[in-house]
Amino acid sequence: MKQEQRSIRADEALGLELYQFKGIKQNFATHFHDYYTIGCIEAGERIFVCNGQEHRLQPGDCMLINPFDKHSCEMVELAPLHFYSFNIGRESMGRLMQELSGCRSLPYFKVNALYTPEWGEAMQRLKLMIEQNRPEAVRKEAYKLLMQRLLAAYSQPAAAADRPEGNRKVQLVCRYLERHYDRNVTLDELSALAGLSKYHLLRLFTREMGIPPGRYQQNIRIGQARRMLVHGAMPLEAALGTGFTDQSHFTNYFKNMIGLTPKVYRDSFQ
């Protein structure tokens, strides 16, 4: 039986990362990233849930995920997944928007699943150009054309997106967890901060954010660790620097959320 393959390739000229998963059988629990993900299913089926909306994706279908969109992905009948995605940081997206429109205003994708084959075909062409290391000018032209079409069809300025403002106490807890990601913050501490009972806060936070406070903090930690690894930190250094006391726990959580081990992720940038 052919082993699963997981790889990542950074294209600095385009300002993106190309993720490729082949033959994997892994469910991804509800989580979020601080970057944009534009992905495509090559083989297998997936139940993709994003911001509370469920989508059944088949080969050729695509997904559009904004930074901080809560999403999960589950197998269908244990079918192995072949999937790839372009992951684009907010800074890179801002530079792209400046080139395309003259304004660095970040976009917000209004839909999270695309079922039109042409998008998968356009993404496949760009993926092959990156894999084959085609000339930078050729890759950039294909990338800009794809993004220009996607953004025109499915996005609006993030500032104008019609999204609920959110409960103020929940937002207060989120900001606190983001500032103190490198230490274990207790539910008692958050309860006192919000002025709510522990159980009321837990129910309110989970209903509002889609995940409980502890998992929210773990997502923030993994995002910080990812940045450290990109800049050359060793996995142990990234684990300790983001509040993990056990490297094994860090590795498992990182792989469950990102799909790659911290070492493989780091090595792709060195």
Which domains, from first to last, does the chain contain? 5-160 (2.60.120.10), 168-267 (1.10.10.60)
Q: What are phi and psi of 233, to 5 degrees?
A: -65, 145
Which of left, alpha, beta for 259 (phi over 0: left; psi -120 to 50: alpha)? left
Q: Would the pLDDT of 1 be above 90?
A: no
Model-level pTM?
A: 0.89
Q: What is the pLDDT of residue 54?
A: 96
How many Å apart are CA 215 and CA 151, to the nearest integer? Answer: 31
Averaged pLDDT, 79-88: 92
Contacts of 203 (CB under 8 A, 6+ apart): none
- Give 182-200 pLDDT, tens digit per residue: 999 999 999 999 999 999 9
